[in-house]
Amino acid sequence: MQIIDGKLVSKTIREELKRKIELANSQGVSFKLTVIIVGNDPASEIYVNNKAKGCAEVGILSETVKMPESTTQAELESVISDKVNDDSVTGILVQLPLPKHLDSQSALKLIPPEKDVDGFSDGNVGKLTLFKQDALFSCTPFGMIKLLEYYNIPLCGKHAVVIGRSNIVGKPMSLMLLNKDCTVTVCHSRTPNLADFTKNADILVCAVGKKHLITADMVKDGVVVLDAGINRVDGKIYGDVDFDGVSQKASYITPVPGGVGPMTITMLLYNTYLAGINDEKRRV
């Protein structure tokens, strides 16, 4: 059994990204991420700080626009529109969740697909569905695909079972695996007898948010397991997969923490770079 080391892969991608960005900078091309945060949610503030630190590490310029809890929809949309029209900004991200009085869908609609580095917009989801090369992908599933690539895990013709159908993890992951020629089964809370599906998985992706939903008796020998789940119980973090049991049967498995988690911000940095070089005005 091989542990899929997300910290190692994340570090490797960031180093490669730093080199590419330095090269682009030397040719007069720069990259800038604008993060807009509304209110004072402590968890969101930590995420936003980590994004800014990640940018600094690889040489992406960043700015955080902090708006008060009392921000109106019009004020938020005006800031987004300014950044959309600012050619120095390559990527725009609105930190979610927004305060309850704000309509996130209507705000996010203002970000054009080419600056939507979270990959959540209708445009990018549409491009992913149509298998278009210039899509910016949702960062967590994109990170999982990069983990599979790093370990040269064959995907073509494999049966991938994705548990979870959220718009940010499960659904885009199922499309990315389909795009890689897997046969894909998507399971969710209404799927009866989950084990009937998981036992047939060559590749098992868990994106649910239920500690140890998947146990050793639910998987076959040699399965490749990617666990996006983050479940905080009594101050400790657990995945959706019972790592101790399932790792006895898996050929590859991500630990939690240290597997899928470290990839998410790294892929945001990667998307910000891609957004910059996809832009005709910046192409190097």
210 binding ligand NAP? (CB under 6 A): yes
Record the tokens describing residue 133, joined without a space: 């090369």
The CB-of-244 to ligand NAP minimum distance in angstroms stands at: 19
Catalytic residue among 32, 51, 115, 211: 51
The CB-of-210 to ligand NAP minimum distance in angstroms stands at: 6
The CB-of-86 to ligand NAP minimum distance in angstroms stands at: 28
Q: How far apart are CA 170 and CA 162, in angstroms?
A: 6
Residue from the set 37, 92, 162, 228 that interacts with ligand NAP by CB under 6 A: 228
Our answer to whether residue 95 is catalytic in this structure is yes
Catalytic residue among 116, 118, 227, 242: 118
Q: Restricting to residues 136-195, name those near ligand NAP by CB under 6 A.
A: 140, 163-166, 168-170, 187-191, 194
Q: How far apart are CA 131 and CA 175, in angstroms?
A: 9
**C-beta of residue 7 within 8 angstroms of C-beta of residue 262:** yes
Picking from 181, 108, 175, 183, the residue whose alpha carbon sits closest to that of residue 135 is 175
Catalytic residue among 95, 127, 202, 211: 95
How many residues line the site for ligand NAP (CB under 6 A)? Answer: 26
Our answer to whether residue 118 is catalytic in this structure is yes
Residue from the set 52, 109, 209, 249 that interacts with ligand NAP by CB under 6 A: 209
Cβ-based nearer residue to ligand NAP, 30 or 215 = 215
Which residue matches tokens 């790093």?
150
Q: How far apart are CA 265 and CA 255, in angstroms?
A: 17
Cβ-based nearer residue to ligand NAP, 24 or 128 = 128
Picking from 76, 224, 90, 245, the residue whose alpha carbon sits closest to that of residue 148 is 224
**What is the helix (H) or strand (E) element at residue 168, kind and residue range?**
none
The CB-of-232 to ligand NAP minimum distance in angstroms stands at: 9
**C-beta of residue 219 within 8 angstroms of C-beta of residue 201:** yes
Our answer to whether residue 2 is catalytic in this structure is no
96 binding ligand NAP? (CB under 6 A): no
Distances (CA, A) of 42 to 6, 38, 45, 76, 109: 25, 11, 5, 20, 25
97 cis-preceded (ω within 30 degrees of 0): yes
Binding site for ligand NAP (CB under 6 A): 140, 163-166, 168-170, 187-191, 194, 207-210, 213, 228-231, 260-261, 264
Residues annotated as part of the active site:
51, 95, 118
